[in-house]
Structure formats: structure tokens, C-alpha cells
Chain A
Amino acid sequence: MTDTIRHRAAKVFRRNGAGWLLMLPGIILFGFFAWVPLLESIRLSLYNVQGITLQDFAGLSHYVSVFRHPDFVAAVRNTFSYTLWSLVIGFPVPIIMALIISELRRGKSLFKVGIYLPNIVPGMAMVLMFSFIFIPGETGVLNIIRDRLGAEPFGWLTNPKWTIPLIVMALTWKGAGATALLYIAGLQTIDSQLYDAAIIDGAGIGRRIFHVTLPGLYNLMRILLILQVISVFQILYEPLVMTNGGPNNASLSLMQLMFRYAFTDYNYSLASAVSVIICLMLIILTVLYMKMNKEQDA
């Protein structure tokens, strides 16, 4: 009896052992750097802590404190606003770029490199550059241009209505190129016979885009949309550096609220509570989105 078990175990090991051993370093690394911290931050959010040493169980009281914080509502509202603006501004731009570049007859590579270049600018440099561009006084780059055109200087980031859209524009400037490359790759997988068929049927360029190209990119768009939502939802350093969440919380994001709890207050329970809240919101959004897609596909 035991012999057969041993025999079987040995067989399983012979078959899969090397594979598991191969994966083990990765699993340990992942566990140590991703999963344990993830679970640990949930635990932190439920305990009173001194520094980061757990003291006693606090239940959901930290979550209540976060909800009661005067800046929480603004942070949630802004975070959704960032996400929506990034869908309005940031989502179509790479698709349009990809369509234009794929239609080019000459200089394709040049433009591919060109749109990707902003992506290799370090994030902080990009943020500082846009801070100069958006200076609200007479010395700002955009205001100098306005001045040449005979217009008054504008407030740019200091205008609460414009703060978030402008930050999203800066984000898009940096990120759109990389996404466009993915779309260009996607475009190449579309069967050229479909275009030929469309042309024979008398479809102009507009109809070709709407009836062949976009449906061909649909699956890719779906994935990139949810990835974009997840990444923009966690926006932190752009508003942190450009506006520090201001003016009067007009650009404060949830991540920045977490950052403040962690690094200006050293209150890691509350910081963890915020990050768990962010995580839950993203899970809900993703599940809803997946469900919607499934219904559509069915």
C-alpha cells in the first residue's frame, strides 16, 4: 500500500518536479514581494499599530476614519474624474495615431519612433516640463503663446475646472505612443482580404474603418481599456508634483490620500485602509466590466 503511494509520488515528482523547482524562485519572489505585502496591508488596515508593529484588533474603525476624513469624498470624486477624462482624452488618441500611421506609405518607422519617444522621457521630467508649460503667469510657455496671439494669460492648472483634464493630457502625451504601437501591431493581424472585400463592395475609407478595422481591434481595445482604467485609477505622482492635489483638493487622488497618510502622518493603518478601498473599487469595476462584456458576447 505505502509502496504504491511512494511509487506514485515518485512518478509525479519525476514528471513535474523539475517544473516546480523551476517555478519555485519565482513563486518565492512573488510571495515575498507581492502576495505577502498585499495580505499584510489588509491586516494592517484592521489593527491599531505603532509604527508598523501591530498592537490590537481595531475592526473596521480605520475604514470609518478614512470615510470621515474631509478629503475622502473629494479624492474619490477626483479619482473617477481622472479615469473618465482619461477615457475621453487618452483612449481614442492611440487608436487614431495607429490608424494614421498604418495608412502612411512612407516614413512609418520614423513616426513609430516619434510617437514612442515621449514614453522614454522619465516621468518626473515630463511632469516638471508640463509644470513649466502650464505656469499661470506671463512666464508660462502656453501663456507666452497666448500673449503673442493677443490673449490674456490663463490659469491652467490653477483653474479647478481645468486641473484634471490638463493632467490627463500630460499623461496622454507620455503614454499614448506606447499604446499606439500595440494597436499598430493589432492592425497588422487584420486579414487584408477583408479590406479587399470591402473595397469590392464599394466601401470608402470611413466605412472600412468602422466595419473592418475597429471590429478587428475590438478585443485589443477591450483589454487596453480595462488596463487603462486600472492604471489611471492609481494616479499619484503627476498630481503630487504638479499641483500637490490642489487647488483646494481639485486634483487630489485616492492614491495621494494614501500617500499622505503613510508618509506625512506615518499612519500606516489608515494608509492601508485606503489602499484596500482602492483595490476593492478596482475589483468591482473590473468584474462589472467583464460581466458587461460577457453579456455582449453572448
Chain B
Amino acid sequence: MKRTLSVLLMIACLTGFLFANGQKDSGAAKGATSIKLGIWPEDTLTGDIEMHKGYVKAFNEIYPDIKVIPAYYKYATDTYVPLAVSGKLPTIYETWFTEPQKIMKNGFARDITAELKELGWDKKMNESVRNLLSSDGKIYGVPRDAYALGLMINADLFKEAGLVDGDGLPLYPKTWDELAKTAVIIKEKTGAAGLCLLAKDNAGGWHFTNIAWGFGANFVVQKGNKWVGQLNSPESAAAFQYVSDLKWKYDVLTPNPTNEDWGTGFRAIGTGSAAMYIAAQDAVNQPTQVNGLPATSLAMAPVPAGPAGQFSLMGGTPYMFSKSATDEEVKAALKYLEIMGKAPVVSETGLAGLEADAKNRADEGIPVIPAFPAWTDKAYLKAQQDAIDAYINVDMRMFDSYYEKVSEESNLRTEEPVETQALYAELTKVLQSVMVDENADIPALLEMAQKNYQRILDDTVNK
């Protein structure tokens, strides 16, 4: 009896175990379109959430039968693939500017060419940005913002070091040589580092390409139908010598560049442990909102010029779409972007969206400054400018030089075209060697990096 009972109990346990998680989520009623917004703000950003609630209200007034489901998703490389493969990604989500090519290559991206064409947005997209979001002529994303790298400046430190003009505006360095001298003065007068240089991960290589372009380096070129790396050029050696000097001759960097990454750089600027940092205008919330610097203490200047000229690396932060999204859902998500004022459409709701965004930024202590145009539609750009004008909370003279330079088309360059992350990885390794060893043999390190990068090129794109 006892035995039978235990067997029966065991079977009951087993069935319970097997079916414990078998409940399917019922989901929305069939027929009605619903969109899951991965671009919903995270719980702590209450101001942003209120703003989005306003967007949803405006959205539902126009499209009452489309249900909007907040589904905050912060893109992360360890959660992305499982979500993508299981079809659980939100309808629309934001990712990093480094990711689109990888996401497209792995077949996780939703082709939205048809939907964009229907709206005519494909023609209004900044061409370089469109190329970044396209593969084989198909478009897989829309830009949230475009960005162009510049020199982010903690104006308080400049003031403290006496590096200001008659109007109290920071006297920013125009060339890399001037940067070194400026940095020395800052370190002497304030004790803070002059520049925060990144060398922890691939962001180090990414920033370094922009520095090295100024010295005349071109890291990869196409010869015939082969891609050839040029990491070991004298120009790139000169650029490495320059950053080595920043560390060892002038000693103006933060204590350990090999432990600085994108986020710590903003912390350094925001908390005043460094005075200058290479960064883009779309991240002005990082030193201010995230790290507590008053909006009025932030300035932006163009990336300094090198002997071969001035360049600003540009790219775009994309919105992408779930592969399992239906045409209707993609269209609905695009409409939501329109309400946010992120689409190249001048409409009342879109303008209200832009204004709400500008107001929210002002409330949150983020500098309200013009976006870098990801769309080329003139009317939209004007509307965008008009919408923020009333909310500008900074002295635009602190940003003028940056916007002037990045409006010169010829100075803008996109990332190096092939195996970019591998290139950054190789450059970062050299940077690390240079940052930890005063006598690092730069030409030998570059020979090695070139050999490694070329091998990767030959194993992938040249195959």
C-alpha cells in the first residue's frame, strides 16, 4: 500500500514538474494590432515616462485601435540573441551604433524598406546613416540620432585654469599640439587630468581612429578586390607617438587609461576629474543628467586638427525592429516615432513631441542643443530647430564651434568600412602597450597589429 502510494505521488510530482511552466501567455486579442515599445524609458526615469505617456495618448487619439505596450528593453549582447531567436524582441528597440551590421548579418533584423518607401522616409535619411543601416540595398533601421565626435569640455575646469576668453568662454584647443599644451596648464592649475583617453576596450580604438585620421592615417583601403590594412603606416605611428607623449612626456591623462571606457570617460568629465574627452553631441545627457555636471558647465568643440587636417567621425544610433513584427506593427511603430518627433515629418503631433522632448531635457538638466541631422528633410530640420529654441538652456557659444565644423561635409567621416571591430581591437591592444610602457616599440607593435588585422581580413572579407 505504502509503495503504491509513493509511486502515485511520484507520478503526480512528475506531471506537475513537466507541466508547471506550460501555461502559454494569452497575449492580445487576435486581429487588433499591438506594438511593444522597447524604446520605453526605464523605470527610474520618471520624467521620461510621463513624456512617453503623453506620446501614447496622442498616438491613441489618432490610432485608437492600436494597443501600445511599454516593454523597456535595454539592448545587451547577452540577452539579445535569445530574444531574437525566440521572437520575443519588442516591436521596436534601440541598439548601439556598433551593432546594426552584426544584427543584419545574423539575420535578426527586420527589413523595413517597403514601409519606409511607402512613407517616403528612405529618401529623407542622411546617406551615410542610411548606409550604416542597410545591407544589400535593404534598409533595416531608422536613426534615433546621428552623431559626430567632438571634444567634450568641462568648462568649470577651463575657468579654474584661467583658460577662458573675455566672455568667460573656454579657450578650446584647435590642434592636437594645442591640446597637449592646454592639458598641461589644466593639470598644473587644477590637478585634474587634461584629457580622458580610452584604452580599455574597442571604444579606445574607435576614438583613436579619429585622432589618427588627423595625422593622415588610413587604416584600411581596397586594392583591386582585396582589402588591405595599413596599420603600420608612419602616419599611424606618429599618432601613437602623440598619445604616448600625452601619457609619458606631458603626463596629462587620467591615471589608468587602460581602465577607461565609454562610460568612465563621461564620469571623468561629469565629476571634473578630467577636462576634455572625445564624445558626441548625442551623449550630452551622460556627463550632466547621469553624472551631475550642470548643463551650463558643459561645452563642445570640434575634434582637434592634426597635421593632415580635421576630421569628425560620424555615425548613427539606430532604432531597429523585431523580425517577427508584421507590416502593420512596423508601420504603427514608425507612426509612434513620428509622434515622438523622431521622423522626418512636420506635423502638429510631431512638433509637440519634439517640444515635449526639449522641455524634458531642460527639466532634467541636460543641455538642449540641436540634434545632428540624421534626416535631410529641410522643413523637418527647421521645425526641429524651432521646437527646441524656446528651451535652450545653455550658452550656444559654447557649442558653436562644434556645430560649425560638423556642418562641413568634407570633415565628416564614417567608421573604417570592413572588420571595424577587429581593427579597433588591434588598435586598442597597441594603445594599451603604449599606455603602460614608456618605451613601447611602436613600429614593432604596429607591425604585429597589421599582421593580425590583415590575417582577419584575409580570413573574412578577402575570402
Instruction: From the candidates B6, B107, B254, B435, name the one contacting A50 in the complex (CB within 8 A).
Output: B107
A residues in contact with B258, CB < 8 Å: 157-158, 243, 246-247
B10 touches A137 (CB 8 A): no
Closest Cβ of chain A to B191, distance in Å, is 10
Instruction: From the candidates B77, B256, B430, name the one contacting A248 in the complex (CB within 8 A).
Output: B430
Chain A 120-143 residues near chain B, CB threshold 8 A: 131, 135-140
A160 contacts the other chain (CB 8 A): yes
A65 contacts the other chain (CB 8 A): yes
Closest Cβ of chain A to B432, distance in Å, is 4
B429 touches A137 (CB 8 A): no
Chain B contact residues, majority secondary structure: helix
A18 touches B429 (CB 8 A): no
User: Number of residues in B with C-beta < 8 Å to the partner?
Assistant: 44
Q: Mark A40-71, 1 if CB is under 8 A from B, else 0.
A: 00000000001111000000000001001110
Which of the segments A97-105, A167-175, A263-271 contacts the partner chain? A263-271
Complex CA gap A69/B455 in Å reads 8
A residues in contact with B108, CB < 8 Å: 51
B433 touches A247 (CB 8 A): yes
B residues in contact with A136, CB < 8 Å: 255-256
B residues in contact with A265, CB < 8 Å: 102, 421
B390 contacts the other chain (CB 8 A): no
A17 touches B7 (CB 8 A): yes
Complex CA gap A70/B3 in Å reads 62
A residues in contact with B7, CB < 8 Å: 17-18, 21
Q: Which of A69, A159, A244 has the most CB of B within 10 A?
A: A244
Chain A 69-96 residues near chain B, CB threshold 8 A: 69-70
Number of interchain pairs (Cβ within 8 Å):
96
Instruction: From the candidates A25, A140, A155, name the one contacting B436 in the complex (CB within 8 A).
Output: A155
B85 contacts the other chain (CB 8 A): yes
Q: Which of B78, B107, B255, B426 has the most CB of A within 10 A?
A: B255
B456 contacts the other chain (CB 8 A): yes
A286 contacts the other chain (CB 8 A): no
Q: Mark B426-451, 1 if CB is under 8 A from A, else 0.
A: 10111011011000000001000001
A65 touches B459 (CB 8 A): yes
A residues in contact with B106, CB < 8 Å: 50-51, 266
A22 contacts the other chain (CB 8 A): yes
Closest Cβ of chain B to A259, distance in Å, is 9
Instruction: From the candidates B13, B102, B426, name the one contacting A266 in the complex (CB within 8 A).
Output: B102
Closest Cβ of chain A to B341, distance in Å, is 32
A249 contacts the other chain (CB 8 A): yes
Query: Contacts A244-B200, A266-B106: A21 and B14 contacting too (C-beta < 8 A)?
Result: yes
Closest chain B residue to A21, Cβ basis:
B10
A159 touches B436 (CB 8 A): yes
A34 contacts the other chain (CB 8 A): no
B residues in contact with A70, CB < 8 Å: 426, 451-452, 455-456
Complex CA gap A247/B169 in Å reads 38
A247 touches B435 (CB 8 A): yes
A185 contacts the other chain (CB 8 A): no
Closest chain A residue to B106, Cβ basis:
A51
A residues in contact with B84, CB < 8 Å: 51
A24 contacts the other chain (CB 8 A): yes
B429 touches A246 (CB 8 A): yes
Complex CA gap A157/B459 in Å reads 33
Instruction: From the candidates B77, B107, B451, name the one contacting A51 in the complex (CB within 8 A).
Output: B107
B200 touches A246 (CB 8 A): yes
Complex CA gap A127/B272 in Å reads 25
B19 contacts the other chain (CB 8 A): no
A residues in contact with B428, CB < 8 Å: 246
Closest Cβ of chain B to A117, distance in Å, is 27
Closest Cβ of chain A to B452, distance in Å, is 3
Complex CA gap A21/B430 in Å reads 59
B432 touches A247 (CB 8 A): yes
B432 touches A264 (CB 8 A): no
Q: Which of A28, A51, A65 has the most CB of B within 10 A?
A: A51
Closest Cβ of chain A to B321, distance in Å, is 16
B residues in contact with A24, CB < 8 Å: 14
B11 contacts the other chain (CB 8 A): yes
Q: Which of B259, B451, B455 has the most CB of A within 10 A?
A: B259
Closest chain B residue to A140, Cβ basis:
B255
B residues in contact with A18, CB < 8 Å: 3, 6-7, 10
Closest chain A residue to B449, Cβ basis:
A70
A53 touches B459 (CB 8 A): no
B residues in contact with A131, CB < 8 Å: 259
B81 contacts the other chain (CB 8 A): yes
Query: Contacts A52-B81, A138-B255, A247-B432: A68 and B201 contacting too (C-beta < 8 A)?
Result: no
Closest chain B residue to A139, Cβ basis:
B255
B residues in contact with A65, CB < 8 Å: 459
Complex CA gap A160/B432 in Å reads 10
B436 touches A51 (CB 8 A): no
A residues in contact with B451, CB < 8 Å: 70
Closest Cβ of chain A to B379, distance in Å, is 39
Complex CA gap A138/B193 in Å reads 12
A residues in contact with B256, CB < 8 Å: 135-137, 158
Closest chain A residue to B18, Cβ basis:
A28
- Having A158-B435, A158-B436, A159-B436, one finds 6 other A-B pairs with CB under 8 Å, namely A69-B456, A139-B255, A244-B200, A247-B258, A247-B429, A266-B103
Closest 4 CB pairs of A and B: A137-B255, A70-B452, A247-B432, A263-B77
Q: Could you show 13 A-B contacts with beta carbons less than 8 Å apart? A: A18-B10, A21-B11, A25-B17, A28-B17, A51-B108, A65-B459, A68-B459, A135-B259, A137-B255, A160-B436, A247-B432, A265-B102, A266-B106
